[in-house]
Amino acid sequence: MTEGIDDILEFLASTERNYSIVDLSVTLNIPCDKCRSIMNFLVKYGFVNSIEEEFQINPKIKDILVDSSEEHPSEIRPNLTI
């Protein structure tokens, strides 16, 4: 289930528009019932806002996701001074 959560959050963080369950399900290739369960979870815990059956990422969560993706942790090298 975390794969679906990650996919949905990353997708919503990359756009400004609202999406329905069907839109997200088709776009991300996630079964509609699973997508609905994930969205209920994300709304319940404040990751996503729901407006008339359409969803958009919470702007605070978007800021966190965008900031963390810009850091490129795989490119950070430890300081190995001997």
Q: pTM score, two decimals?
A: 0.77
CA proximity to 35, closest of 4, 63, 77: 4
User: Is 28 among the domain residues?
Assistant: yes
d(CA 19, CA 24) in angstroms, rounded, equals 6
User: Is 13 among the domain residues?
Assistant: yes
Tens digits of per-residue pLDDT, 26-68? 999 999 999 999 999 999 999 999 999 999 999 999 988 877 7
d(CA 55, CA 42) in angstroms, rounded, equals 10
Query: What total of structural domains would you count in the chain?
Result: 1
Which pLDDT score is estimated for 78? Answer: 45
User: Is 50 among the domain residues?
Assistant: yes
* Domain of residue 36, residue span: 2-67
CA proximity to 40, closest of 4, 11, 73, 70: 4
User: Is 78 among the domain residues?
Assistant: no
User: Is 34 among the domain residues?
Assistant: yes
Tens digits of per-residue pLDDT, 2-16? 778 999 999 999 988
User: Is 79 among the domain residues?
Assistant: no
CATH of the domain at 16: 1.10.10.10
